[in-house]
Amino acid sequence: MSQECEFVQEPHKLLVIPGPIEVTDEVLYANAHPSMSHMSPDFASVFGDCIRMTRQILYSEDAQPFLIAGSGTLGWDQVSANLVEPGENALVLHSGYFADSFADCLQTYGANVDQVKAPIGDAVKESDVETALKSKKYKVVTVTHVDTSTGVLSNIKGVAEVTRRVSPDTLVVVDGVCSVASEEIRMDDWGIDIVITASQKGLGTPPGLSILVASQRAMKVFQNRKTPITSYYASWKKWLPIMHAYEKNSAAYFATPPVNLIYAYHTSLRQIVQGPVSLEDRFKAHKNASRRVKDVVAALGLRCVPLSEDVSANGMTAIYFPDGLAASDIIPRLLKKDVVVAGGLHASIKEKYFRIGHMGATAVDIERGDIDRVIVALNEALAEAKASKA
């Protein structure tokens, strides 16, 4: 914990699932801010800072952030309700469980959805994106930057390049719920239109805040839509004036914001964009943490779900159990050592693997020793599980 914060959170099991993640003492303390009016000038300026710092994390000059009470899923609803009109085509690139859910959401709002599916452990190849984009006109292409079910990292820069070249009107939508602040995203330079994320992963804040950032191009597409917006709570018509007001440090009301969470998010954003570790070094720290975990996995003779390094996320690792061992042999043993990991999620391999998150403070604040604890616990749990079968 850092020197400035006198508050120290209670001893607890180390949470290294791929989100929610460990939060710093300062963030947790900020969440305990005394109750504030969401219409007060003091709160409005904190909200305004959050909007500006969110842009900074994505290296964008002028994209429009929407900070709304909800979880990452609300980002899918916002895209489906505001950008895609009923009957329009959406192309979903599938690298795991979360693409199916995004597709389901788009269909709920009346989109015609096609999916291009990569084999388990791989990302969709740009050549396959190109073929699909040439086959018909798509309003949006969606790509999961890191699919949390597989730990697969997609090349969103490459997907954006292909889309701009082959189908310039198609909006590029990135599900960055498991990548924002742990993987580099240069929204303006790479030509990305939408980044969807949430507070509880790389952004190091408790769950409950939906964060979506839309390019000005996407906002124009929204403004020119022909049919009515197909949601009430997720409508940008309602939220845009609110975001504009808060950015001018004055409050406006559509629905009550998660006031305390905004204080927590503000503190985390300040640690990320104004703290001693630059954004670039933060991404490097995630790479280092990931390298350490993946090296141990290899040394133990285990196999990761992603098929190659090129498609491996830096904020999490998905690992197959060795032959003869199952979740019940490993996960409870890690829990006994106060290390909380996650089981499998991808339906076709659910029982065969587990997941470790290494995002935010766990990856960046080396002094915490989180990665060391994970490595020791993993080595011990595996040895004990093997010995129990001998």
Ligand X SMILES: Cc1ncc(COP(=O)(O)O)c(C=O)c1O
Per-residue x/- track, 293-322, ligand X (CB under 6 A):
------------------------------
Closest approach, Cβ 98 to ligand X, in A, equals 4
Find the residue with minimal CB distance to ligand X: 72
Q: Least distance from C-beta 193 to ligand X, angstroms?
A: 17
Tokens of residue 206, six digits: 């408790």
Does position 98 interact with ligand X (CB under 6 A)? The reply is yes
Please report, in angstroms and rounded to a whole number, the separation of the first and last CA atoms in the chain.
Answer: 42
Pairing label, strands 64-69, 209-214: antiparallel
State which of positions 167-196 bind ligand X (CB under 6 A): 175, 177-178
Smallest distance, ligand X to C-beta of residue 136, A: 25
- Does the CA dihedral 222-225-231-235 come out positive or negative? positive
Residues 58-77 that bind ligand X (CB under 6 A): 71-73
Structure token digits, residue 387: 């010995």
In the chain, where does DSSP find H-type helix?
25-31, 41-57, 73-82, 97-108, 126-135, 156-166, 187-190, 216-223, 236-247, 259-274, 279-299, 327-336, 361-364, 370-389
Which of 44/177 has CB closer to ligand X? Answer: 177
Annotated binding residue 282: no
Closest contact distance (angstroms) between CB of 124 and ligand X is 15
Nearest approach in angstroms of CB 91 to ligand X is: 17
Rounded Cα–Cα distance for residues 111 and 87 (Å): 5
Candidates 17, 19, 316, 344: give the one binding ligand X (CB under 6 A): 19
Helices (H) and strands (E) in the chain, counts: 14, 14
Among 180, 198, 251, 311, indicate the residue that binds ligand X (CB under 6 A).
Answer: 198
CB neighbourhood size of 238 (10 A)? 15
- CB-based burial label for 11 (10 Å; 0-12, 13-18, 19+): exposed
Q: Which of residues 108-167 bind ligand X (CB under 6 A)?
A: 144, 147-148
Residue ranges at the known binding site: 355
Residue ranges at the known binding site for substrate: 355
State the residues that interact with ligand X by CB under 6 A. 19, 71-73, 98, 144, 147-148, 175, 177-178, 198
